[in-house]
C-alpha cells in the first residue's frame, strides 16, 4: 500500500513539474510526435525505393516450410534453383493474407536484385500463384513491412512516448489532435503491412 502511494505521489509530482514547464513539455511532445512522423516518412520512402529494385521471379516450389518461433518464417526453394527464399512475419501466419505455397505449386514472386538477408537467403515479396499476381497495393505493403527493421526503435519510442506523455500530460486540443492523427496513421500503416 505504501509503495502504491509513493508511485502515485511520484507520478503526480512528475505531472506537476511538466505542467509547470510548458515549453519543455511541448518540446518533448513534439519530439515524440516527430519520431512517429519520421518513421512514417522513412518506411514509405524506403519501400518506394525498394519497389523500383524488385526483380520478378517464377518457378515451381520444391520445398516449403513455416518455422514457428517468436516470429513466423516462411522459407521455400524453387526447382533447379540453389537459392533459398524467405520472409518473416511478426504475427501468427493465420492472421496474414500472404499466400502460403505448396510443394509442386507454380508461383511468382519478387526479390531485391542480388540482395541476401542475414541468413544468406533472399527475402521475397508478393508471393502468389502463377498468373494471379498480387496487386501493387499489397505488394507495396509487403515491402513496407521489411522497412520497419531499421527504424523500429524510433517507432516504438514515438508510439510509447505519445501514449505516456502526449496523451497523459499535454492537454491542448490542437496538439492532441495532431498527435492522435500521426499516431493513428503510424499504427494503421504497420497493421496493414503486417497482414499484407
Average pLDDT, the chain: 81
pTM exceeds cut of 0.85: no
pLDDT classification of 4: cutoffs 50, 70, 90: very low
> What would the mean pLDDT of 85-100 be, rounded to a whole number?
74
What are the cell numbers at 9?
A: 505521489
Residue 71 confidence (pLDDT)? 60
> What would the mean pLDDT of 6-28 be, rounded to a whole number?
63
Which tops the pLDDT comparison, 96 or 33?
33
> What domains can you pick out in the chain, each with its CATH number?
53-134 (2.40.50)
Q: Percentage of the chain with pLDDT > 90?
A: 26
Residue 69 confidence (pLDDT)? 57
Alpha-carbon dihedral sign for residues 37, 43, 44, 45 = positive
What are the cell numbers at 156?
A: 516504438
Is there a contact between 24 and 18 (Cβ–Cβ < 8 Å)?
A: yes
> What would the mean pLDDT of 158-169 be, rounded to a whole number?
79
What are the cell numbers at 56?
A: 520478378
Amino acid at each position: 500500500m505504501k509503495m502504491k502511494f509513493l508511485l502515485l505521489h511520484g507520478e503526480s509530482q512528475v505531472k506537476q513539474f511538466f505542467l509547470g514547464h510548458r515549453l519543455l513539455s511541448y518540446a518533448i511532445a513534439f519530439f515524440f510526435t516527430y519520431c512517429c512522423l519520421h518513421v512514417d516518412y522513412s518506411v514509405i520512402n524506403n519501400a518506394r525505393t525498394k519497389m523500383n529494385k524488385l526483380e520478378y521471379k517464377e518457378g515451381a516450389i520444391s520445398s516449403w516450410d513455416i518455422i514457428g518461433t517468436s516470429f513466423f518464417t516462411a522459407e521455400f526453394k524453387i526447382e533447379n534453383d540453389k537459392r533459398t527464399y524467405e520472409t518473416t512475419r511478426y504475427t501468427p501466419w493465420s492472421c496474414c493474407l500472404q499466400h502460403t505455397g505448396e510443394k509442386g505449386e507454380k508461383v511468382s514472386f519478387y526479390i531485391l536484385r542480388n540482395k541476401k538477408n542475414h541468413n544468406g537467403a533472399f527475402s521475397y515479396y508478393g508471393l502468389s500463384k502463377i498468373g494471379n499476381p498480387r496487386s501493387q497495393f499489397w505488394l507495396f505493403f509487403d515491402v513496407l513491412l521489411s522497412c520497419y527493421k531499421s527504424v523500429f526503435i524510433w517507432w516504438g519510442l514515438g508510439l510509447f512516448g505519445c501514449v505516456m506523455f502526449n496523451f497523459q500530460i499535454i492537454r491542448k486540443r490542437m496538439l492532441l489532435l495532431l498527435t492522435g492523427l500521426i499516431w493513428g496513421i503510424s499504427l494503421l500503416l504497420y497493421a496493414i503491412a503486417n497482414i499484407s
